[in-house]
Chain A
Amino acid sequence: MSANILLNVNNIEVIYNHVILVLKGVSFVVPEGGIVALLGGNGAGKTTTLRAVSNLLAGERGEVTKGSIELAGERIEAMTPADLVKRGVIQVMEGRHCFAHLTIEENLLTGAYTRRDGKAAIAETLEKVYSYFPRLKTRRQTQAAYTSGGEQQMCAIGRALMANPRMVLLDEPSMGLAPQIVEEVFAIVKELNEKEGVTFLLAEQNTNMALRYADFGYILENGRIVLEGTAQELANNEDVKEFYLGLSSQGRKSFRDVKHYRRRKRWLA
């Protein structure tokens, strides 16, 4: 982790509806040009963390009550999502959220709403997005609601890319997709990261897939970060293997034999 730190989340606490404490002091950093994965089960706080960064919390009646979030040294907790998009941070929401009645191409073009660098530049980005997602080009005139789940996920990612982001917050890109499509989507993410230098912060339940493509990972549980390390370290960690990858030293293991109290003892002590 020697590269420039792009995003620095420092000990944030998030409360929904003034009473529900969801994040209890989460800290992590995302280096410029990296792919960082936030891992964890349902309700661990992955989505909330991403929303805290992109500031989409307000719409869900959530707020960051403690801690700080810095983007390249600038505090960003009080900004609107539109401000953040202008600074190059954009979120691809869980469940894709394409504009159902707009065509794929219109969906992509809305992603360029905040750009002020002229039509030619936007058209260029559009071509670039099509070159990464050739499937989208073939369906450009189709209403988004009539495309497949994989195409919608690609559309959502492509739409974010239209804003020329420095950093994309990608929430659960594998949700509801066939393994083959998941593989395709992740491969494109990796390619975008390498060729375009886009930084990714990825929230994912599919630990196996995420650790194969990410550089660094954090494991969230109950609104706390319980484990962190390079993707390699995490993939080799015995607990991660047992609880998230379904493997143990004896190979595959029956869920009957898993001792759930073990991780409680170890991580919450």
Chain B
Amino acid sequence: MAFFIETLIGGLMAGMLYSLVALGFVLIFKASGVFNFAQGALVLFAALAMARFAEWLPAWFGIESLALANVLAFLITIAIMFVAALLIERLVLRYLVNQEGATLLMATLGIAYFLEGFGQTVFGSDIYKIDVGMPKDPVLILENVFEGGILINKEDFIAAVIAATLVTLLTLFFQKTATGRALRAVADDHQAAQSIGIPLNRIWVIVWCVAGVVALVAGIIWGSKLGVQFSLATVALRALPVVILGGLTSVPGAIIGGLIIGVGEKLSEVYLGPSIGGGIEIWFAYVLALVFLLFRPQGLFGEKIIDRV
């Protein structure tokens, strides 16, 4: 039992990281109807910037305190992400208003490759670490319930709390503020939104900024766990089944979808793996996504495709 719960918790933690990446997809899709392939690249780019500035700042200015260096690096990275959002809108999206979904998707693919290449040119392509001072030591809990207790990571818990806070804030932003409402309006109907005076350009900058911040948070958590390296960009592909499962338009869907896939991967690997051969972790998510595409294409929580008859 203790082993099962440990696996479960491990799965939830992995799932939460998927959720964070999926969240970036959902935000941009909701607000602009663009399936943003560049989200993974954004995560990599943000994590690279964060890791390198946290390293450079103390070297350049002789900052002693780790916390101060991290906070400054965080702020600088946020600024960089905002500039990136602005440039993406100015140089790419602005010219693609009202184009086919496929055109926009190709454009985000282009953005993804550019960010990956540019990020590594500027920040280097080695493996870097992000050390935000999260406690790494595992703790044993529930020792009196199970023999030997359950081993969990404090770091994972802190990450979970951060993710939960982020999601709550985003949900409130989308549901309660005028800007959030405008974002949802743009997601529903570009032209109508334009006709009532919502400036698409500004909305897109806002949403890419928000996606940039989400990417940064995801990047920091992944980076501090596993180090910052090129493979971070491919987590976007892992998040793809998550958005299919949770629904492309649902913030809670991205979270729950991520958790389900994280847990599913781990449990199937541990319990089904021995009987049908290992490696289930790698394809489990995609098979689940396929099943969902067949039976519930809008995902668990996606907006219903409402057809008037």
Contacts and interface: CB of A to CB of B under 8 A. Distances in A.
B197 A114 contact: yes
Contact of B195 (A58, A86, A92, A102): A92
A143 B303 CA distance: 11
A156 B187 CA distance: 17
Contacts of A101: 184, 187-188, 249, 303, 306
A110 interface: yes
Contacts of B191: 56, 59, 93, 97
A31 interface: no
A36 interface: no
B198 interface: yes
B143 interface: no
B188 A56 contact: no
Given A143-B306, A145-B306, A81 B192 contact: no
A94 to B, nearest CB: 10
B304 to A, nearest CB: 8
Given A59-B190, A109-B178, A110-B182, A97 B195 contact: yes
B189 interface: yes
Contacts of A100: 188-189, 306
B192 A82 contact: no
B225 to A, nearest CB: 36
Contacts of A146: 306
Interface string B171-201: 0000000100110110111111111111100
Contacts of B234: none
A81 B194 contact: yes
- Best-surrounded residue of B178, B185, B195 (most CB of chain A within 10 A): B195
A99 interface: yes
Contact of B98 (A60, A109, A163): A60
A142 to B, nearest CB: 12
Given A100-B306, A113-B182, A145-B308, A54 B199 contact: no
Given A99-B185, A100-B306, A113-B197, A59 B192 contact: no
B63 interface: no
Nearest to B188: A99
A84 interface: yes
B155 to A, nearest CB: 38
A84 B191 CA distance: 15
Contact of B199 (A58, A80, A111, A162): A80
Contacts of A92: 195
B87 interface: no
Interface string A69-103: 00000000000111011100011110001111110
How many A residues are at the interface, by size bracket? 35 or more
Given A58-B97, A99-B192, A145-B308, A84 B197 contact: yes
Contacts of B185: 99, 102, 106-107, 110
Contacts of A113: 178, 182, 196-198
Nearest to A109: B181
Interface string A152-191: 0000100110110000000000000000000000000000
B171 to A, nearest CB: 15
A123 to B, nearest CB: 13
Given A101-B188, A102-B184, A110 B195 contact: no
A176 to B, nearest CB: 10
Nearest to A55: B194
Contact of A160 (B189, B196, B303): B196
Nearest to B97: A59
Contacts of A91: 195
A111 B198 CA distance: 9
The residue in A82, A92, A98 that gathers the most chain B C-beta atoms within 10 A of its C-beta is A82
A99 B189 CA distance: 6
A86 B306 contact: no
Contacts of A159: 196
A110 B193 contact: yes
Interface in B114-130: none
A157 B90 CA distance: 32
Contacts of B187: 101
A46 B187 CA distance: 27
A172 B195 CA distance: 15
A163 B195 CA distance: 11
B306 A85 contact: no
Nearest to A92: B195
Contacts of A81: 194-195, 197
Contacts of A114: 196-198
Contact of A111 (B188, B196, B303, B306): B196
7 contacts: A58-B97, A60-B98, A82-B198, A93-B195, A101-B184, A114-B196, A163-B197
Given A86-B197, A97-B195, A99-B193, 17 more contacts: A58-B97, A59-B97, A59-B98, A80-B199, A85-B196, A92-B195, A97-B189, A100-B306, A101-B188, A101-B303, A106-B184, A109-B181, A112-B178, A114-B197, A114-B198, A145-B308, A156-B192
Sorted from nearest, which 8 A-B pairs have the closest CB atoms? Answer: A85-B197, A97-B192, A145-B306, A99-B188, A114-B197, A59-B98, A82-B199, A110-B185
